Amino acid sequence: MSAPRQLSLNAFIYPSGHHEAAWRHPDSRPDRIYDVSYYQEIGRTAEAAKLDAVFFADGPALRTDVRHNAAPGLEPITLLTAIAAATTHLGLIATASTTYYEPYNLARLFSSLDHISGGRAGWNIVTTGTDLAAANFGLERHPDHAERYARAREFVDAVVGLWDSWEDDAIVLDRAAGVYADPDKIHPIDFVGEHLSVRGPFNSARTPQGRPVLVQAGASNEGRAFAGKYAEAIFTAHQRLSDAQSFYADIKSKAAEFGRTADEVKILPGISPFIADTEAAALRLEREFNELTVPEYGLKQLESITGTSLRGLALDEPVPVEVFAGAGDVTDNARSRLQVVAGIVERERPTLRGLLHRLAGARGHRVFAGTPEQVADTIEEWFTQGAADGFNVMPPYYPGGLEVFAETVVPILQERGLFRTEYTGTTLRDHFGLARPESQFTRNAALAG
C-alpha cells in the first residue's frame, strides 16, 4: 500500500511579519531585520517543526512605503546560504526574476545554493510585476505581461538546460589516469530563442537534486499555463474553499496537458493565522494588529494590488461593488489578486476601513483567527477537499507567530497523521515528494541509443 498523503508546509518569511503593522507591535523585531542570526533562528524554528522549507519573496525595486513599514532588504539567495549553514534538512526557496536576471548568472546562483545546502534549493520564478524595476536596470520601460511570460518560458528552458548540461556521471575522478571529467558527458545547450540565446555548457556539475525545485506564484491565465508546464510547486492566494478548489483542479488539468501527473505539482495557498487559546482571544489579537495600521499605507497597498484608487471615499463609507466590476473570476482571470479583492468586496460589502483591514493581514492571502485546533481544522479541510497540497504559512508577526504555529498547530496535524514527525529525506525534492529528474542529455542519449 502507498503511504498516506502528507501535507507540505513552508514558512513564508517576511521580516517583521505579514501583517502590515507587525513592525509596530511589541512582539515583532523590526530592529533585527538586517541581522543574519535572526533569520537563522527562524530557520531553526521551522526545521524543529519539520517544515518543508522557508520561502522569501523578492523584487528588484523598493515597493514598500518605508515611511510606514519596514522594508525587506536582504538579497534572499545570499541570505539562504546563511540559513543553510544553520540547518540540515530545511528547504530553501528564493524568488528571482526572469525579467531582470540573465539565465547563466541565475543558474549559477541557485546551483551554488543547492550544492552548499546539500540539495535543498528552490527557485520561485517571477516575471516582476512592477514597472518601478525598469529604471533600476537602465531600461526605458517595463515589458508588458505577454512579453515577460514569453521571455520567462525561454529563460526557464535555458536555465534547466544549463543545470542538465553535465550528466550525472560526467565526473570521473580518475587520479591514476589523470582524468577528472568526461567531456563527452558535458554538453553545450546551444539555446536560441526570440528573447535569449545561451550557448553553454554550464561551469558546474549537476546538483544533489539534479536541479533545484521550480516554484511559481503567478495565477493569471499566462501564469497558469506557465505553471502547468514548468512549476513543481505553486504559491497562490484564495479566500474561499470553492475558489481554491477551482484553481486546484485547473492547475492539475493544465499539468496533465503537458504529460505530467497531478503529483508532480504541489499547490500551496497562503494562510496567515492569528492563534490563541480561544477564538475570542485570537480575534482580539487580530483587532490589536489592525488598530496599528496606517490608512495611507493601506491605500497605497490597495492601489499596488488592484491598480484602483479609493482615495475619494471616507474610511467609514462602504466600498462600491461596481469599482471592481470586470475583475474576472477564478477560472478566467488575467488579474489574479484584483479578483481576490473584488470577491471580498462583493461578498462582504466592507467599508473602506474594513477592506484595508482585510488586506492588511497578508496582502490578499487568507487570514484566519482561531484556536490551534481551528487552524488545524481549516488546513485539514482544504487539504482533504481538493483545494491544497499544503500551505505557505504566513505568520502575522515574526518570530512569535511562527513559534506559536510550530508549537501548537503542527503537533495537532502530526497527531492526525497529516504531517511528518521526522524528515524522511534530506532534499527539498524529498520533502515535496518529487522525483529527482534525469538530465535531458542522458535521456536523449538513451533514446538515441
8 Å CB contact between 293 and 20 = yes
Query: Helix axis angle, 352-360 relative to 279-290, nearest 10°?
Result: 110
Cis peptide bond upstream of 4, omega within 30: no
How far apart CA 389 and CA 76 sit, in angstroms, is: 25
Beta bridge partners of 55: 12, 93
| pLDDT computed for residue 327 by the predictor | 61
Cell of 406: 510550530
Q: Could you tell me if 34 and 74 are in contact, meaning their C-beta atoms sit under 8 angstroms apart?
A: yes
Q: Are 156 and 432 in contact (CB under 8 A)?
A: no
Q: For residues 89 and 72, what is the distance between their CA atoms, to the nearest angstrom?
A: 25
| CA–CA dist 125, 148 (Å, integer) | 12
* Tens-digit pLDDT string for the chain (449 aa): 567 899 999 999 998 999 999 999 999 999 999 999 999 999 999 999 999 999 999 988 887 778 888 877 799 999 999 999 999 999 999 999 999 999 999 999 999 999 999 999 999 999 987 788 889 988 888 988 889 999 999 999 999 999 999 999 999 999 999 999 999 999 999 999 999 999 999 999 999 999 999 999 876 778 888 899 999 999 999 999 999 999 999 999 999 999 999 999 999 999 999 999 999 999 999 999 999 999 998 898 888 777 788 888 999 999 988 887 766 554 434 456 677 788 888 888 999 999 999 888 877 789 999 999 999 999 999 999 999 999 999 999 999 999 999 999 999 999 999 999 999 999 999 999 999 999 999 977 666 65
pLDDT of amino acid 208:
97
What is the reported pLDDT for 2? 63
Report how far Cα 204 is from the mean position of its chain's Cα atoms.
26
Provide the pLDDT for residue 203: 96
Counting every residue written for the chain, the total comes to: 449
Q: What is the pLDDT of residue 449?
A: 58
Q: Could you tell me which residues are beta bridge partners of residue 186?
A: 166
Distance, CA of 405 to CA of 394 (rounded, Å): 10
Please say whether the beta carbons of 63 and 51 come within 8 A.
Answer: no
Rounded to whole angstroms, how far apart are CA atoms 403 and 396? 11
Q: Please tell me what DSSP assigns to residue 190.
A: -
What pLDDT does 3 receive? 73
Give the CA angle between residues 58, 402, 19 to the nearest 5°.
Answer: 55
Residues 6+ apart with CB under 8 A from 218: 126, 127, 224, 226, 227, 336
Distance (Å, rounded) from C-alpha 166 to C-alpha 160? 11
